Amino acid sequence: MTQSLNDIALDLVAPQKGILAADESTPTIAKRLASVDVPNTEDQRRDYREMLFTSEGGNEFISGVILFDETLRQDALDGRRLAHILSEQGIHPGIKVDKGAKSLAAAPGETVTEGLDGLRERLNEYAELGARFAKWRAVITIGDDIPSETCIATNAHALARYAALCQEAGLVPIVEPEVLMDGAHDLARCDEVTRRTLSRTFEQLALQRVALDGMLLKPNMVIAGKDCAEQAGVEAVADATVACFLDTVPAEVPGIVFLSGGQTEEQATTHLSAMNQRHPDLPWQLSFSYGRALQASALAAWAGSRDRFAQGQTAFLHRARMNGAARSGAYTAGMEAAGV
C-alpha cells in the first residue's frame, strides 16, 4: 500500500524517534573527517555511513536518515545498498536535494540556496532510488543590517517551490530555514529574525499550495549567538522557542524537527527535552533532525577504522537513545553518566 505524505511525515515524528541528518556534502564531510584525521575518500565516507546505519537497534530511536546523493547510490562493503540497509530496518531514507547556499546578488554577506533547475527530474529519480522524503536548507545570517527582506523572501520563495515539487513527486519535504547561531546577537534578536523568517516561509508555502500536513519544518532553536556574552538558560531557550513557533507555525504541520546548528550534543538534547517536558500539549510533535549532535562522539569513537565500528555504534546509539528520551521530556543529565 502506498503511504500518503501525511503517513510518512507522521512516521518520521513517531513517539521517541527522530531523524539522523547524515547528508553532509563532500566538502562538509571532508571537514568532519579531517577533525579525526581521516582522509576524505569515497571508501572512508562509505565506511563511516555504513558504521552509523548498521547500528543494531538504531531503529528504536531513528525514524529516517537524510542522505547525500553519493550515499543514496552507494553500497556497503558487502554489496548491499546502504539505503536498503535502512529501509529493511523500517528507517525511511531521505535525500538532501539543494545545491548549497550561494552568494545572493545585491545582498552582501547573504546567500540564497540554489538547486531548483532540473529538480523535478532529480526528485523523480530519487523516489525511484527509494527516498521517501527530502531536505532543502536555506541559510539566514544575523549581522548588523542583515538579514534583509530580500534574503528572507528569496529563500522563502525557493523553499516553497522545492516543497511543492517534492509533494508532486511523492516525497515529504523537510523545509529548513536555518537562522545561524554565528555571531554575538542575543536571544531576542534570534527570536525576531526567526519569527520573520518563519512567517515569510509559511506565506510562501500557502501561496504555492504546499499541503502543510505532508511536510515537516526543520528550524533552529531560538537561542543566543555563539559569541553572545549572555547565554540564556535552558528553560528560557525552551520557552522562547515554543512561543515563537506557536505564533508562526500552523497546527496542520505534523512536526518540527530541530537542527542542532553548532550546539553540543548535550545542549541539543537538553533543550529538546526541556521543550517537551515544559510544553506537553503542542499542536505538532517536537523532534530532532540532528547532524553534529548525533554524530560527534560516534565520529571520534570510530576514527576511521572498520575495527572500531562497535565503538562508533555504541556512541551513536547512546546519543540516539538520549534524544529518544528527549522526545517525551524524559531526558536527564544523569542518564549520560549512567551510560543508559
Closest to ligand 13P by CB, 173 or 291 = 291
If the CB atoms of residues 40 and 124 are measured against ligand 13P, the closer one turns out to be 40
Q: Residue 24 or 50: which CB sits closer to ligand 13P?
A: 24
Q: Compare residues 75 and 100 and give the one whose CB is closer to ligand 13P.
A: 100
Which of 153, 150, 129, 151 has the alpha carbon at shortest distance from 141? 151
CB of 229 to ligand 13P, least distance (A): 23
- Name beta bridge partners: 18: 62
What is the closest distance, in whole angstroms, from the C-beta atom of residue 251 to ligand 13P in the complex? 25
Cα dihedral 118→288→29→182 (10° resolution): 100
Q: How far is the CB of 180 from ligand 13P (least distance, A)?
A: 10
For the question of residue 176 being annotated catalytic, the response is yes
Selection from 194, 191, 287 nearest residue 240 by Cα: 191
Q: How far is CA 23 from the centre of its chain?
A: 9
Classify residue 27 as exposed, middle or buried by CB count within 10 Å of its CB (0-12, 13-18, 19+). Answer: exposed
- From the list 110, 176, 178, 265, the catalytic residue is 176
CB of 58 to ligand 13P, least distance (A): 17
Q: Closer CB to ligand 13P, residue 170 or residue 261? A: 261
Work out the burial of residue 141: count CB atoms within 10 Å of its CB; fewer than 13 is exposed, 13-18 middle, 19 or more buried. Answer: middle
First to last CA, the chain: 37
Site residues, ligand 13P (CB under 6 A):
21, 137, 176, 259-261, 290-293
56 is catalytic: no
Q: CA Rg, the chain, in Å?
A: 19
CA distances from 74 to 30, 81, 231 (A): 17, 6, 42
Please report how close the Cβ of residue 145 comes to ligand 13P at its closest, in angstroms.
Answer: 25
Q: Which is nearer to ligand 13P, 55 or 113 (CB)?
A: 113
Q: How far is the CB of 95 from ligand 13P (least distance, A)?
A: 12
Residue with the closest Cβ to ligand 13P?
A: 291
**Residues 311, 301 contacting (CB under 8 angstroms):** yes
Q: Which of 135, 178, 218, 265 is catalytic?
A: 218
Q: Which is nearer to ligand 13P, 263 or 313 (CB)?
A: 263
Give catalytic residues, as residue numbers.
176, 218
